Amino acid sequence: MRLLRMKPGHGEVLIAEGDIEIAEQEQELIAAFRAQLEQGMWAAVPVVAPDGRRQAELVRAFDEVPRDAERVIFFPRAAGGC
Amino acid sequence: MLVALGACAVVAIVLAAEVGASAVKRSLVGWRVRVASGRVEDIAAYDPGRERRAEQRARELLRSCVGDDDWAMYRDLGFLRVWGRAGSGMRAGHGVAPYAYLIYPHKPIVAYVPRSARLLSEYCVAFPDGERPYGSSRLPASDDVLAKWMALTGDEQRLIENANLHLAGRQLDPHAVRADIAALDRWERERLQRERRDAGSVPAP
C-alpha cells in the first residue's frame, strides 16, 4: 500500500509505502496516515464499483481503508472558495 | 501682540503638519518597498518548469483514478462530469440522472440538470495547502480536478457542505457552461457511434 499526498508545485508525493500484512510496516502506515489527518488532510481511496464505475471512498480512519487498497491519496480539506 | 501670537501658532501648525506628512510619506515608501520585495520573492519562487512537471504528474494520477472514459472527457473537453448521488448507477446511454456536476480546474463546480441543460448552482470550493511549498497553496490544475472528483464521488454531501453556494452565473458565464454541456453531449454521441461502428466492423483478413 502506498500513501500519496497532493502538493502544490509537486504533484503527488510518496508519504509511506509498506505491506499491510506485515505488522511492523502496517504500524508505520498507520502512523503516517494519522499524521496526515492531523495536518488537516482528507484521505481518499480510489476504487472500482461493482458496476465497473470508478469512484473514491473518503476514509476518516485507517481501519476504513480496504485491506486490498493499493493507495490512499491525501489532499487538503475542502474550504469555501471564490 | 495677539496678531503675533496667532501668526506663531499658524507657523507651528504648518511645521507640525510638514513633519507629520514626511513621517507618513517615509512609512508609505517603506511599506511599498516591503510589498515590492515580497512580490519579487514570489516571482523568484515561481518556476514554470517545476509547475509543468507537477501538472504532468497530476494528470497521470488523475488518469489512473478516473478511468478511460472520464480521462478522455477531461483530455478532450477540459472538464469532468460527475453524476449526482441520486443518479447513482446511471450512465450516459442507460438513463438520465436527475442532476450532475461539471468539474473545472480551479473554477466553481456547476450543478445542472442533464435532461434540460438547466443550470442549478455553483459550488465554490478550494483545497488550500497550508504548508504553501514554493509560496503557493494552490494544487496543480489536474490535482484540483481529482480532489473535487474524489470528494464528490466519495462523499458528495461533505463536499457540498464545505463549499460556498451561489446561483449559477455568478462566476462562470452561463452561455459558456451551456456550450460545454452541448459539447459534452456531442462528444458522447460521437464516442458511442464510434464504439458501435468498431464493434460492428469486421476485421480485414
Q: What is the pLDDT along chain A (82 residues), one digit of tens a residue?
A: 999 999 999 899 999 999 999 999 999 999 999 999 999 999 999 999 888 889 999 999 999 999 999 999 999 999 998 7
Measured over the CA atoms of residue B139, residue A56, residue B152 and residue A17, the dihedral's sign is negative
| pLDDT per residue as tens digits for the range B165-175 | 999 999 999 99
Note whether residue A6 is domain-resident: yes
Assigned domain for A17 exists: yes
Q: Are residues B136 and A53, on separate chains, in Cβ contact within 8 Å?
A: no
Q: Is residue A82 part of a domain?
A: no
| CA dihedral angle for residue B105, residue B108, residue B112, residue B114, rounded to 10 degrees | 0
> What are the tens digits of pLDDT across the range B181-202?
999 999 999 999 998 988 876 5
Say yes or no for a CB contact (<8 Å) between B57 and A12: yes
CB of B183 within 8 Å of a chain A CB? The answer is no
B62 touches A: beta carbon within 8 Å: no
Q: Length of chain A in residues, anyone?
A: 82
Asked, for residue A7, whether it belongs to a domain, the answer is yes
Smallest Cβ–Cβ distance between A58 and the set B50, B60, B155 belongs to B155
- The reply to whether residue B150 touches residue A81, judged by beta carbons under 8 angstroms, is no
In a domain, A35, yes or no: yes
Instruction: For residue A46, tell me if it sits in a domain.
Output: yes
Q: Do A55 and B153 touch (CB under 8 A)?
A: yes
Q: Does the distance separating the beta carbons of A12 and B64 come in below 8 Å?
A: no
Q: Give the global pTM.
A: 0.80
What is the ipTM, given to two decimal places?
0.95
Would an 8 Å CB–CB cutoff place B158 in contact with chain A?
yes
Q: Which residues on chain A are in Cβ contact (under 8 Å) with B154?
A: 44, 55-58
CA B24 vs. chain centroid, Å, equals 39
Are B51 and B64 contacting, i.e. CB atoms less than 8 angstroms apart?
no
Q: Which residues contact B49 (CB under 8 A, 6 or more apart)?
A: none
Which domain, by its residues, includes A8? 2-76
Q: What's the domain count of chain A?
A: 1
Distance from the A22 Cα atom to the nearest Cα atom in chain B, whole angstroms: 26
Interface contact B72, partner A, CB < 8 A: no
Shortest distance, CA A48 to any CA of chain B (angstroms):
9
Choose the closest CB to B124 out of A7, A39, A81. Answer: A81
pLDDT of residue B16: 61
Cα separation, B68 vs B104, whole angstroms: 18
Of the candidates B51, B60, B108, the beta carbon closest to that of A82 is on B108
Query: Is the Cβ–Cβ distance between A29 and A3 less than 8 Å?
Result: yes
> Are A56 and B129 in contact (CB < 8 Å)?
no
Q: Is residue A50 part of a domain?
A: yes
* A75 chain-B contacts, CB cut-off 8 A: 127, 139, 143, 146-147, 150
Cα separation, B153 vs B172, in Å, equals 23
Instruction: Compute the Cα dihedral for B162, B140, A9, B60 and give only its sign.
Output: positive
pLDDT (tens place) for every residue of chain B, 205 residues total: 556 666 656 666 665 667 556 655 655 555 554 544 444 445 556 788 999 999 999 999 999 999 999 999 999 999 999 999 854 544 444 556 799 999 999 999 999 999 999 999 999 999 999 888 888 889 999 999 999 999 999 999 999 999 999 999 999 999 999 999 999 999 999 999 998 988 876 555 5
Closest by alpha carbon to A10, among B92, B140, B189, B153? B140
